[in-house]
Structure 1
Amino acid sequence: MRKFSAVLPILPLVAIIAWVGYSFWQAYQPQPYTLQGQIEAQQYNISSKVAGRIDQVLVRKGDQVEPGQLIFSITSPELDAKLEQAKAGQQAATAMAEQAENGARAQEIAAAKDQWQKALAAANLAEKTYQRVDNLYKDGVVAEQKRDEAYTQWQAARYTENAASQMYQLAKEGARDETKRAASEQARAAAGVVAEVEAFTSDTLVKSWHSGEVSQLLLQSGELAPTGFPVVSIIDMQDAWLVLHVREDQLSQFQKGQQFSANLPALDNQSYKFEVAHVAVMGDFATWRATDSRTGFDLRTFEVEARPLQQIEQLRVGMSAIVELEQP
């Protein structure tokens, strides 16, 4: 009993010494290093190639959309007018090509032949007239001037007959091959213009190219939409990743292909596995630590992207992720 009484006063001192010793031991133990990142996901902006007034927006925030689903429509009277003009130009070019290919009509060929026959008859008559006048000139009945006039009229009739004959042959043969090709290519060009305008017209019904959830509606019905302006934004949470900014002295733990665990506070602090998919090739000073005696240099950070190894339900963009590492 006396021994216990003698030891009792020093027990508090022993406890204090033990506590101080444990505290010092704890202070010199390696502490875990915590990284905080956030969830990102692929975002797509849905816009139209043509300007116009928004007719209908067929989705709302939070809606799930699939590829090929109609998202919104645009009205553009100017585009409709251009389409009519293009179609009219195509019809005119097609008609010209058909005319070049088919050649002259039967009536036109017959008319050209009649003109040639008429000129031929006139040339024959002029020749006979000249022969008569020439005979009279040789007999001394008419002057040389009359014979020259008859000869000139005969030659002129011959040239007229030859020209009429060429016109008749041209009417029978139709257009040259070069003319036909030129008319055909003009028709093709006009068809291309129509196809181009129709392509723009079809883009007034804008569909989604991707699946995802509607995150933003930037324009509503009745508002004007410029060319290429995003009207609806969607986020594909099936294509999500974690972004971390890692100091270079910790970068060895985040090489491409390495796996690690991260806790998501928004999902009851559950732990999920991630795999490093990308490490930025250029560092920055987003999280900077000045030179000290241990490192001897300034520490840069590198952006690291990591993909989840499994699909995470209820995952949202901007959620925090906590990663604990050993202190270097």
Structure 2
Amino acid sequence: MKPQRAVVLVLAGLAVLFLAWRLIAPQFRPAPTLSGYIEGETLYMAAPVAGTVATLGVRRGQRVAPGAPLFVIEPDRRLAESERAAAELGAALAQAEDARKGQRPVELGILEAEQASAEAQAREAKAVLGRTAELARKGIYAKARLDDARSTYQSAAARVAAAQRRVAAATLGARADQIRAADARVAQARAELAETGTLVANMAPVAPTAARVEDVFFQKGEWAAANQPVVALIPDDKLYVRFFVPEAEVAAYRVGRRIRFSCDGCEKDLGAAISYVSPRPEFTPPVIYSREARDRLVFMIEARPDHGGRLLPGLPVDVTPLETDR
């Protein structure tokens, strides 16, 4: 065979192979995907007061259920304050009850005896005044003696009125101010007890929802400052899929639309609902789990997965692109 003919046959064969590759190869290519990863919002759990970590109920990486105890900060001192507040409330309640009952029977009996003695003296002074007035009218007693008798009676009547006021002060109706003051002390004691109870509860935080323990910053026996995070959680409902969409395709992605995604070692056919679409474009991040070339200008999208508790933050995912609305 002539060399020229061989070259032509080789070139023709290569052309046929190239055309076959262009026609058949796309069928074996993997379906196009968008690259992304699992991201989570961290919840930092702390106590409002400083103290020693008395109990630590979780470890890093552990899953916790809603209401699970996390840690306890030095409970003894706050429990003592709670008991003191409860005792003060009991004393205030007793004082309010005493104010409503009036003075004790012994004290009330003494006041009533004083009133009876004053009334007897007033009756005697009134009788003397009557006799003195009659004799003065007849000219037997001088007017000065009548004035003395009248003054004695007025003093006795004043003592009766004072004794009556003291007895009345021992009754419920006349002690309204004392009752109001006692009720105010009860309300104050209740508020202090509630505040102390809240502080005691805040010293032993619990998991607000199902979550994974991301980190533990203090160990049992260590001193933690007030409002210093002791445990970091990533709640299941705070996990989301973050991925990037080329500028030409972002119109198909709206809040509320659902996407499908997959990841290595995960269950099949995972779904999520789009919760955020970035209003500003950005360049492709330098660290992105990509299997093929992407457009440089992309929009960040976030979607809440249906089962966030089964995913780990940082896990690479592949998102099936949505079709652009026509």
TM-score normalized by structure 2? 0.75
Q: Counterpart in 2 of 1:56?
A: 55
The 8 Å contact of residues 100 and 179 in structure 2, kept in 1 or not, is answered as yes
The 8 Å contact of residues 71 and 206 in structure 1, kept in 2 or not, is answered as yes
Consecutive unaligned residues in structure 2, runs of 5 or more: 286-295
Three-state SS of the structure 2 residue aligned to 1:209 is coil
Q: Counterpart in 2 of 1:316?
A: 312
The 8 Å contact of residues 96 and 186 in structure 2, kept in 1 or not, is answered as yes
Q: Counterpart in 1 of 2:164?
A: 165
Q: Counterpart in 1 of 2:221?
A: 222
Structure 1 residues 87 and 278, CA gap change in structure 2 (3 angstroms): closer
Structure 1 residues 276 and 248, CA gap change in structure 2 (3 angstroms): farther
Q: Would you say 1:304 and 2:301 are equivalent positions?
A: yes
Q: Where is the strand percentage greater, Structure 1 or Structure 2? A: 1
Structure 1 residues 175 and 77, CA gap change in structure 2 (3 angstroms): farther
Q: How does 1:268-283 map to 2 (within 5 A)?
A: 273-280=270-277, 282-283=279-280
Q: Counterpart in 1 of 2:6?
A: 8
Q: Counterpart in 2 of 1:91?
A: 90
Per-residue CA shift, 1:6-45, capped at 9, x if unaligned?
62254455567x39986xx89xx9x997643111245433
Q: Counterpart in 2 of 1:257?
A: 257
Three-state SS of the structure 2 residue aligned to 1:283 is coil
Q: Counterpart in 1 of 2:291?
A: none
Consecutive unaligned residues in structure 1, runs of 5 or more: 289-298
The 8 Å contact of residues 279 and 302 in structure 1, kept in 2 or not, is answered as no
Alpha-carbon offset, residue 94 of structure 1: 0.8
How many angstroms apart in 2 are the aligned matches of 1:125 and 1:308? Answer: 98
Q: How does 1:160-239 map to 2 (within 5 A)?
A: 160-172=159-171, 175-176=174-175, 179-180=178-179, 183-236=182-235
Q: Counterpart in 2 of 1:293?
A: none
Alpha-carbon offset, residue 66 of structure 1: 1.6
Q: Counterpart in 1 of 2:128?
A: 129
How many angstroms apart in 2 are the aligned matches of 1:180 and 1:215? Answer: 55
Q: Counterpart in 1 of 2:282?
A: 285
Alpha-carbon offset, residue 243 of structure 1: 0.5
Structure 1 residues 240 and 198, CA gap change in structure 2 (3 angstroms): closer
Identity %, equivalent residues: 25
The 8 Å contact of residues 125 and 152 in structure 2, kept in 1 or not, is answered as yes
The 8 Å contact of residues 35 and 319 in structure 2, kept in 1 or not, is answered as yes
Structure 1 residues 253 and 33, CA gap change in structure 2 (3 angstroms): farther
Alpha-carbon offset, residue 119 of structure 1: 0.9
More displaced 10-residue stretch of structure 1: 221-230 or 144-153: 221-230
More displaced 10-residue stretch of structure 1: 187-196 or 112-121: 187-196
Three-state SS of the structure 2 residue aligned to 1:302 is strand
More displaced 10-residue stretch of structure 1: 59-68 or 233-242: 233-242
TM-score normalized by structure 1? 0.74
Alpha-carbon offset, residue 320 of structure 1: 1.9
RMSD: 4.1
How many angstroms apart in 1 are the aligned matches of 2:269 and 2:231? Answer: 32
Per-residue CA shift, 1:42-101, capped at 9, x if unaligned?
543333344322112122112222222222111155534532442232123112211122
How many angstroms apart in 2 are the aligned matches of 1:49 and 1:249? Answer: 49
Q: Counterpart in 2 of 1:150?
A: 149
How many angstroms apart in 2 are the aligned matches of 1:20 and 1:213? Answer: 54
Structure 1 residues 138 and 308, CA gap change in structure 2 (3 angstroms): closer
The 8 Å contact of residues 90 and 187 in structure 1, kept in 2 or not, is answered as yes
The 8 Å contact of residues 247 and 287 in structure 1, kept in 2 or not, is answered as no
How many angstroms apart in 2 are the aligned matches of 1:52 and 1:150? Answer: 78
How many angstroms apart in 1 are the aligned matches of 2:319 and 2:207? Answer: 36
Q: How does 1:113-124 map to 2 (within 5 A)?
A: 113-124=112-123
Per-residue CA shift, 1:225-280, capped at 9, x if unaligned?
34443211233458643201223212134345253455x3x549x97554452342
How many angstroms apart in 2 are the aligned matches of 1:113 and 1:67? Answer: 65
